[in-house]
A and B are shown apart, each in its own frame.
Chain A
Amino acid sequence: MSLSTRARVLQSGIDRDCLGRLLSSCVMGFRGIGLRAGMLEALGDLHVPSECFLADDLAISYYLALVQRSTVRRLRLRTKYKFDNEFAWSNSSINTFHRQRKFGVNRACAASLRSLMRASKPDKQPTSRDA
């Protein structure tokens, strides 16, 4: 599997405004992400800007957009989750880190990814509407 900027993300249902519509969908990992292992085999080739070091959801969404023909689908779980309050809101939490910085980390990462994508954007970025 190779990475290509000619991304084709079909049936996006999660976040069509992700990265200012440059990505047609985003995933958010705290309640899980499920996929085939083979979908991630090119992850080692991904260049992630340093601004995205703590913005894993954005980085993986960017990767999935680069993987040819990946399809993001929403899933509804049958049982509920709970945060472990001892850890989820502690100083060791990435969420806490983001909140303390008013989510500026994600904005910086998004800006950086946006620049990357614009720099390598083909004539027309296919969207789910093209499917």
Chain B
Amino acid sequence: MAPQHASCDIAQQLGSTPVYFLLSSTPDRAARLPRVLATMRRQSLQPAAIVLSIASTYNTTRFVNSSYTIAPELLNQRPRLLVHTVPRDLGPITKYAGVNYLLAHLQPASLARRAIVVVGDDDMFYGSSFIEDYACAVASGPENAVYSVNGRAASKMQRTDGHSPRSKLGAQTLLR
């Protein structure tokens, strides 16, 4: 299936459906959070909130600090930063745990389940259409669709689209 371009009347497609950006981070990378927020402020479609999932405590054999520190002023910015704390560090899959927060707090439940989540990493400067492109695709696609740019076929896709291919993606580089 050819890669889909994200192009839609986003206001019409979304209606009342909220869009959230989910990520996780680790104590050693807490200093990057302001850049994440700045990236989200530059979005053509700002998410309703950013859900940052962090563990209440981290293994200090892996990290210098056992806890993730958030500067208070970051909690008063737009888009709003919601901090979801999980009891233990689940590794990088922790970023998906933000969905539990949304499903528990968003009302009605049908709205929570329909909410669009865009999941990303904490070390990227995403382009300004990042959230809108995903929101557009999810909103206009079937309810059970999962959209992703990358995979082993992504290099073919980039060549097809006339972009410079990244390094040849093999089985090893497929997974980060």
| A interface residues with partner B (beta carbon < 8 Å) | 11, 13-15, 17-18, 25-41, 43-44, 48, 52-60, 64, 67, 69-84, 86-88, 90-95, 98, 102-103, 106
Measured in the bound complex, the distance between the Cα atoms of B106 and A32 in whole Å is 23
Asked if A75 and B4 make an inter-chain contact with CB atoms under 8 angstroms apart, the answer reads yes
A48 to B117, CA, bound (A): 22
8 Å CB contacts to A: which residues of B82-122? Answer: 90-93, 95-97, 99-100, 102-103, 106, 112-122
Query: How far, in whole Å, are A71 and B174 apart by their CA atoms in the complex?
Result: 19
Which residues on B are within 8 Å of A, measured CB to CB? 1-6, 20, 26, 28-29, 32, 35, 63, 90-93, 95-97, 99-100, 102-103, 106, 112-130, 133-135, 137-138, 141-154, 157, 161, 171-176
Besides A72-B148, A79-B130, 7 other CB < 8 A contacts? Answer: A30-B150, A31-B124, A32-B134, A35-B145, A37-B20, A38-B113, A77-B127
Task: Decide yes or no: A78 and B133 within 8 Å by CB, A35-B117, A40-B99 being known contacts.
Answer: yes
In the complex the two chains form, what is the Cα distance from A28 to B151 in whole Å? 6
Tell me how far the C-beta of B129 lies from the nearest C-beta in chain A, rounded to whole angstroms: 4
**Which residue on B lies nearest to A59, using beta carbons?**
B93
Question: In the complex, which residues of chain B have a beta carbon less than 8 angstroms from the beta carbon of A33?
Answer: 118-120, 146-148
- In Å, the complex CA distance between A31 and B127 comes to 10
State the main secondary structure of chain B at its contact with A. Answer: mixed
| Min distance, Cβ A105 to any Cβ of chain B, angstroms | 9
A27 with B148: in contact, given A32-B134, A73-B137, A82-B124 (CB under 8 Å)? yes
CB of A76 within 8 A of CB of B161, answer: yes
Question: Can you report 7 residue pairs joining A to B where beta carbons are below 8 Å apart?
Answer: A15-B151, A35-B145, A75-B3, A78-B6, A92-B63, A98-B175, A106-B176
Do residues B145 and A71 form an inter-chain contact, with CB atoms below 8 A? yes
Minimal Cβ-Cβ distance residue in A for B137:
A75
Contact between A34 and B125, CB atoms less than 8 A apart: no
Residues of chain A contacted by B95 (CB below 8 angstroms)? 29, 56
Docked CA distance A57–B150 (Å) = 11
Distance of A59 Cα from B124 Cα, bound (Å)? 21
Partner of B123, one of A70, A93, A102: A93
